[in-house]
Amino acid sequence: MSRTTSFDDSDIGPAIYALIERLFPICRSITGDGVRRTLDILGEHIALERHEVPTGTPVFDWIVPPEWNIRDAYIKGPDGRKIVDFRKSNLHVVSYSTPVRARLSLAELLPHLHSLPEHPDWIPYRTAYYNPDWGFCLAHRQRESLTEGEYEVVIDSELKDGALSYAECRVPGARDDEVLVFAHICHPSLCNDNLSGIGIAVQLAKFLASAPRVYSYRFVFAPATIGSITWLSRNESRLGKVKHGLVAAVLGDPGMLHYKKSRQGDAEIDRAVQCALRDRGTGFKVLEFSPWGYDERQFGSPGIALPVGRLTRTPNGCYPEYHSSADDLSLVRPEFLADSFHAYVEVFAILERNRCYRNLSPKGEPQLGRRGLYRKTGGQQDIPDRELALLWVLNQSDGGHSLLDIAERSGLAFASVAAAARDLEAAGLLAPVSGG
Ligand code: ZN
């Protein structure tokens, strides 16, 4: 994106993967020490501003919930052996489970057990936010093998007044206007859903800080839903600075990139992402906005209405490993993480460079050959993209069409259009429109 960058992205995939590996074992939830430990680790990579919002704080129509922490949990079978052990997988406990110590019959235990009949060896990921309950998740095969008898269940958890933790990293640019990237941080040992977005956001923040930028960039690491709502409610007075935004998640699987449009549907971020994906020449899909999915629905609520889309690979819920123990370190791969990282970088490159120009010689085409901008011999059938881009930029630059407009209308790569504008400006044929 910048020729002066000091950022080395040759090992970006392995670097993101290494961070995911380190974060993977931590038991995260919407609040608690797992979130804090996660933010501690992110803080080793990028400068974070940390926030602790006390339990009970009203945030729009919600209230920051009690803080949840867990030390241990298990089920012992009728023979006294541990058959389900939180220490082996934190997915075994329904997140936010209330504490319990009890001896139960199989019939009493079964309603508290969750499994996936269609994937009998995977442990599901389940939560009990905002509705006090407890439960265990286990492989369906194991659940089916349970016999009559007395079971001992222990969940050594705690729900008490504490705080909701989140963090921000702001990378300042020439303008105060911001590009927002939101990554949720509330999932326990799950890689694609949660950790891939976190890992890519961290590397993007590092990358953006490595060279001067036009926009300022703000990365928000917060729990899903309650975290984005908390952030929005605490930043309402400055939301006008957010000009573009993306929700980053599920970015490490082998599926193709999917862009979900903002609520507006035709915001600059929507068009920039689609142009960047088109220019990559690899497959991608565009999804219309819906008030479902990740935090794009909070940013796109009618009283907020920020232009925030969502750039993922296979969308949440559309891959079988989603919200299960199979969303592990084998599902995400460094090459896909690197590919997703580059897609974000290419989107930012368009946002950074997009603006309107005015043709300073608008009566007929200016003579480009004389200025060394056009080939010397004429008559060829095919005109090179570079020259086509010069003609398009000159033709459309009446002060009202941006480089993104021109890239869309011409079908030419944004990078070609931007390079043509640079050359024409250098030749004195084009001038940027202030505020364009
Ligand atoms: Zn999820």
Rounded to the nearest whole angstrom, what is the distance from the C-alpha of residue 37 to the centroid of ligand 1? Answer: 19
pLDDT at 2: 43
Rounded to the nearest whole angstrom, what is the distance from the C-alpha of residue 83 to the centroid of ligand 1? Answer: 26
pLDDT at 3: 44
Rounded to the nearest whole angstrom, what is the distance from the C-alpha of residue 197 to the centroid of ligand 1? Answer: 11
Rounded to the nearest whole angstrom, what is the distance from the C-alpha of residue 186 to the centroid of ligand 1? Answer: 8
pLDDT for residue 436 is more than 60: no
Calculate what percentage of the chain has a pLDDT beyond 70.
98
pLDDT for residue 291 is more than 60: yes
Rounded to the nearest whole angstrom, what is the distance from the C-alpha of residue 324 to the centroid of ligand 1? Answer: 10
Mean pLDDT of 51-59: 98
Rounded to the nearest whole angstrom, what is the distance from the C-alpha of residue 42 to the centroid of ligand 1? Answer: 20
pLDDT for residue 232 is more than 50: yes
Rounded-to-integer distance, Cα 214 and Cα 352, Å: 6
pLDDT at 1: 46
Average predicted confidence (pLDDT) for the chain: 96
Q: Which residues pair with 101 in a beta bridge?
A: 154
Q: Cβ–Cβ contacts within 10 Å for residue 230, how many?
A: 23
Mean pLDDT of 95-106: 98
Rounded to the nearest whole angstrom, what is the distance from the C-alpha of residue 323 to the centroid of ligand 1? Answer: 6
Rounded to the nearest whole angstrom, what is the distance from the C-alpha of residue 220 to the centroid of ligand 1? Answer: 17
Burial per residue of 389-407, b for 16 or more beta-carbon CB atoms within 10 angstroms, e otherwise: bbebbbebbeeebbbbbbb
Rounded to the nearest whole angstrom, what is the distance from the C-alpha of residue 360 to the centroid of ligand 1? Answer: 52
Rounded to the nearest whole angstrom, what is the distance from the C-alpha of residue 317 to the centroid of ligand 1? Answer: 8
| In 13-66, beta strands by DSSP E | 49-54, 58-59, 62-63
pLDDT at 434: 83
- The pTM (predicted TM-score) of the whole model is 0.96
Rounded-to-integer distance, Cα 236 and Cα 290, Å: 23
Calculate what percentage of the chain has a pLDDT beyond 90.
92
Mean pLDDT of 222-229: 98
Rounded to the nearest whole angstrom, what is the distance from the C-alpha of residue 193 to the centroid of ligand 1? Answer: 5
Rounded to the nearest whole angstrom, what is the distance from the C-alpha of residue 253 to the centroid of ligand 1? Answer: 14
Q: For residue 18, what are the contacts with CB-CB under 8 A and spacing of at least 6?
A: none
Mean pLDDT of 272-298: 97
Rounded to the nearest whole angstrom, what is the distance from the C-alpha of residue 428 to the centroid of ligand 1? Answer: 52
User: What is the H or E stretch that residue 352 is in?
Assistant: helix 334-353
248: left (phi over 0), alpha (psi -120 to 50) or beta: beta
Rounded to the nearest whole angstrom, what is the distance from the C-alpha of residue 136 to the centroid of ligand 1? Answer: 18
pLDDT for residue 89 is more than 70: yes
Q: Cβ–Cβ contacts within 10 Å for residue 281, how many?
A: 8
**All domains of the chain, ordered by start, with CATH?**
9-65+163-353 (3.40.630.10), 69-160 (3.50.30.90), 356-432 (1.10.10.10)
Rounded to the nearest whole angstrom, what is the distance from the C-alpha of residue 147 to the centroid of ligand 1? Answer: 32
pLDDT at 5: 57
pLDDT at 18: 98
SS3 call for 39: helix
Rounded-to-integer distance, Cα 245 and Cα 295, Å: 11
Comparing 149-153, 374-378, 392-396, 398-402, the range with the smallest average pLDDT is 374-378
Q: Cβ–Cβ contacts within 10 Å for residue 163, how many?
A: 19
Rounded to the nearest whole angstrom, what is the distance from the C-alpha of residue 247 to the centroid of ligand 1? Answer: 13
Query: Token pair 């038991």 is at which residue?
Result: 27
Whole-angstrom distance between the N-terminal and C-terminal Cα of the chain?
20
pLDDT for residue 186 is more than 90: yes
Q: For residue 378, what are the contacts with CB-CB under 8 A and spacing of at least 6?
A: none
Rounded to the nearest whole angstrom, what is the distance from the C-alpha of residue 225 to the centroid of ligand 1? Answer: 11
Angle of helix 334-353 relative to helix 268-280, nearest 10 degrees? Answer: 130
SS3 call for 226: helix
Q: For residue 381, name the pLDDT band (cuts at 50, 70, 90).
A: confident
Q: What are phi and psi of 193, to 5 degrees?
A: -85, 95
SS3 call for 351: helix
Rounded to the nearest whole angstrom, what is the distance from the C-alpha of residue 320 to the centroid of ligand 1? Answer: 13
Angle of helix 197-208 relative to helix 12-23, nearest 10 degrees? Answer: 130
Contact assessment for residue 394 and residue 429, using Cβ atoms and an 8 Å cutoff: yes
Comparing 86-90, 342-346, 431-435, the range with the smallest average pLDDT is 431-435
> CA-CA distances (angstroms) from residue 159 to 36, 55, 102, 211?
16, 10, 18, 44
pLDDT digits (tens, 9 = 90+) for 312-365: 999 988 999 999 999 999 999 999 999 999 999 999 999 999 999 999 999 999
